[in-house]
A and B are shown apart, each in its own frame.
Chain A
Amino acid sequence: MLDFGILFPAVLNGLTTGAVYALVALGLTLIYGVLHIINFAHGAALMLALYAVYLLKEKLGIDPYLALVAVVPGMFALGYLLQRVVINRASHGKDENILLVTLGLAIVMENLALLAFKSDTRTIETAYTLTTVAIGPAMIALPKLIAFGGALVVSALMLLLMARTDLGRAIRAVAKEKHGARLMGIDVDHVYAMSFGIGLACLGAAACFLMPAYYVNPQVGGGFVLVAFTIVVLGGMGSFAGALVGGLLVGVVESLGGLYFGESLGQVGIFAIFIAVLLFRPQGLFGART
């Protein structure tokens, strides 16, 4: 075993990375876990949001955390329109078609970004990018700590939304019994579009918390797609608390895997978890809450 002085920072680092994963997965929990819209464009949408944060900072000098007020509504609008105009129309009510349409959207978004920004990797400079905070023997970058807090806040907000608001009730009703919900006067198409919009809005928040400590290039979303699906399935479809815990767990697994097996093989651990969970425990670690 490695000693505490190495293990503790690795776990802590994994937790902060995991918090970002959880942020990305929260949106997918709503879209995929609750409504079973298989959104392959989730990573690509995150990439667009990261570019939005990047452009706001570079062109207008807006701080990434301040950009929340612009990026979150922007992503919501994008999601609402995409679901209403493209995905809903193309799906013809079949899951396979949604799979294909969102895959097509992902390809289009990624390559439009490639056209517009080339394949260069870009980062932003802020005053606090390199600030670190000491926790015990570990030094953690301040942006990562803020992202950790952000993940907690966003998951709490999502739980409140689902449990306490009319929209949350409508979403749960539609997820359970679409036709029944329609008969009760719920505008099902609107609810789907709202959910998709909120899911992408979560990505907007994730992008703002992620960007100060991360980078963006047109392919950056690809790495997040499978991780996000892993977390949603691991946490139990549709469970927001599960997504948070699942995200943290995946972050720690990746960090420790990297420590023991080297950087690139560490990622295998994530996919191994994913395959194992799907095969042996498809209801997720915490069971499905519908």
Chain B
Amino acid sequence: MRDLASIALFVVVVACTPLVTQSGVALNFIMMALYACLLAQAWNILGGFGGQFSFGHALFFGTGAYVQAIAQQYGVNPWAALALALVASALVGVIVGALTFRYGLKGSYFALVTLAFAEVFRIVALSVPFTGGGVGLMVPLRESAANMQFATRAGYLWLVLALVTVALLVSAWLRHSRFGAYLQAVRDNEDAARAVGVNPFRVKLAAIALSGALMGAGGAFYVQVFQYIDPGIAYGPSTSVEALVAAIVGGMGTLWGPVLGALALHVLADLTRNLFGQLPGINMVIYGSVLVLIVMFLPRGIAGIGVPVRWLRAVRRGDRNG
């Protein structure tokens, strides 16, 4: 219940921000921060709760984005397209997961294979006609709520907040449900989990589908906001990196870690942009350095600061009732 209460509080506070400020800059900042939260949470489901480190989550992001954009070329309503995007990215997750988990790939092998899949998709997206190739795809501008295109930033903010809320609820569910316990058991010791009757293959498959669907939602949201997608944005490594760095910096396998991490990185990126202007690459230098430093000094992420280890372990395992 404490998880649900904290989620409700978070949602109400963030949902009210457009009522407090009309500033486009502020609302845009919150919207992009929430979008980063969504990607980090999606990665966290498979990487944090499931212990499977994907380096190619752009695979799902890009699939969601392309389905969202292509469906609209054929006159599908964006809201229906979003549903299609979720299903398609979950399906890609199931296919990739079925192949990799069936053959027992984990650790660095899993990371490399997901990276390779993302690259294959990127090259294919560059070469096939229906993605528009390297030129990319544009979504025509038709502002209306029914068309999922909003006149103000507030509309997009509420849309992404709704997606983030779903992701938070999924994470909370993973912390307290039987399935979540299975997943974390597989992460901590796959053989032991199998010995007590958990089917690791099926559990991991469900996790990658969930994680993929949420990442796909991120891609679909991206297309609605920027009305453009190309193979580099869709399947390039930077989205994969952004998602995993935020989740790790914040704290893997926790409810609020990815949110904290995404927020912290977003504030940091904004600060560096203000300090150094538009120097190319400086924010990525900071991302990379933060990643190294966090792994070196705070392997549990920001969410682990100042928390007694035993308490944290209890929270991670999800066996604290509340």
Residues on A lying within 8 angstroms of B by beta carbon are 36, 38, 86, 89-90, 92, 95-97, 99-101, 103-108, 110-112, 114-115, 118-119, 218, 222, 226, 229-230, 233, 262, 264-265, 267-268, 271-272, 274-275, 278-280, 282
Q: With an 8 A cutoff between CB atoms, is B284 at the interface? A: yes
Q: Is the CB of A96 within 8 A of B53?
A: yes
The answer to whether B123 and A111 touch across the interface, beta carbons within 8 angstroms, is no
A95 touches B105 (CB 8 A): no
Question: A118: which of B280, B282, B290 is its contact (CB, 8 Å)?
Answer: B280
In the complex, B111 has a CB within 8 A of chain A? yes
Least CB distance, A116 to chain B, in whole angstroms: 9
- What is the interface of chain A mostly: helix, strand, loop, or mixed? helix
Q: Is the CB of B295 within 8 A of A97?
A: yes
Contacts of B99 in A (CB 8 A): 275, 279
Is the C-beta of B288 less than 8 angstroms from some C-beta in chain A?
A: yes
Extra A-B contacts (15), CB below 8 Å, given A105-B292, A268-B120, A275-B116: A36-B108, A86-B292, A86-B296, A99-B53, A103-B288, A103-B291, A104-B245, A105-B288, A107-B287, A107-B291, A110-B281, A110-B284, A114-B281, A218-B281, A274-B113
Cα distance A275–B113 in the bound complex, in angstroms: 6
Q: Kindly state the separation between the CA atoms of A265 and B113 in the bound complex, as whole angstroms.
A: 18
Residue of B with least CB distance to A36: B108
Q: Which residues of B contact A226 (CB under 8 A)?
A: 112, 115-116, 119
Query: In the assembly, what is the distance between CA of A229 and CA of B112, in Å?
Result: 8
User: Which residues of B are interface residues toward A (Cβ below 8 A)?
Assistant: 53, 55, 99-100, 103, 105, 107-109, 111-113, 115-117, 119-120, 123-124, 126-127, 237, 241, 244-245, 248, 279-282, 284-285, 287-292, 295-296, 299
- Contact at A282–B292, with CB atoms within 8 Å? no
Please tell me if the beta carbons of B108 and A38 are within 8 angstroms of each other in the complex.
yes
Which 8 pairs, one residue from A and one from B, show the smallest C-beta to C-beta distance?
Answer: A107-B288, A111-B281, A114-B281, A104-B291, A108-B288, A90-B296, A104-B292, A111-B284
- Interface contact A101-B296, CB-CB below 8 Å: yes
Interface centre among B115, B280, B281 (most CB of A within 10 A): B281
- List 24 interface pairs A-B (beta carbons < 8 Å), by A numbering: A36-B108, A38-B108, A99-B108, A100-B248, A103-B288, A104-B245, A106-B288, A107-B288, A111-B280, A111-B282, A111-B285, A114-B280, A115-B280, A119-B280, A226-B116, A233-B112, A264-B126, A264-B127, A268-B123, A272-B120, A274-B113, A279-B105, A282-B105, A282-B109
Residues of chain A within 8 A (CB-CB) of B285 are 107-108, 111-112, 115
Cα distance A58–B291 in the bound complex, in angstroms: 34
Do the beta carbons of B113 and A112 come within 8 Å of each other? Answer: no
Cα–Cα, bound, A50→B112 (Å): 24
Query: When A96-B53, A96-B107 are in contact, do A265 and B292 touch as well, CB less than 8 Å?
Result: no
- Residue of A108, A119, A275 touching B292 (CB-CB under 8 A): A108
The docked-state distance in angstroms from the alpha carbon of A278 to that of B53 is 16
CB-nearest residue of chain A to B279: A115
Query: Considering only CB atoms, which chain B residue lies closest to A97 in the complex?
Result: B295
In the bound complex, residues from chain B placing their C-beta under 8 Å from that of A106 are 288
Structural contact, B123 and A264, CB atoms closer than 8 A: yes
Give the contacting residue for B291; candidates A36, A100, A112, A230; CB below 8 A. A100
Instruction: Give the complex CA separation of A38 and B55 in angstroms.
Output: 13
Chain A residues with CB under 8 Å of B290's CB are: 104
Contacts of A95 in B (CB 8 A): 107-108
Residues of A within 8 A of B109 (CB): 278, 282
A69–B280 Cα gap in the complex (Å)? 33
Q: B296 contacts A89, CB within 8 Å?
A: yes
Q: Which residues of chain B are near A233, meaning CB under 8 Å?
A: 112
Q: Given the complex, which residues of B lie within 8 Å of A230, measured CB to CB?
A: 116
Minimal beta-carbon separation of B190 from chain A (angstroms): 14
Establish whether residues A278 and B112, one from each chain, have CB atoms under 8 Å apart when the complex forms. Answer: yes
Instruction: Identify which of B107, B115, B288 contacts A111 (C-beta below 8 A).
Output: B288
Residue of A whose beta carbon sits closest to that of B119? A271
Whether A271 contacts B280 in the complex (CB less than 8 A), given A90-B292, A104-B295, A108-B292, comes out as: no
What's the Cα separation between A92 and B297 when bound, in Å? 10
B103 and chain A: residue at smallest CB distance: A279
Query: Within 8 Å CB of B248, what residues of A?
Result: 100
A222 to B118, CA, bound (A): 13
Partner of B127, one of A86, A119, A262: A262
Residues of chain A within 8 A of B289, CB atoms compared: 104, 108
Whole-angstrom distance between the Cβ of B250 and the nearest chain A Cβ: 13
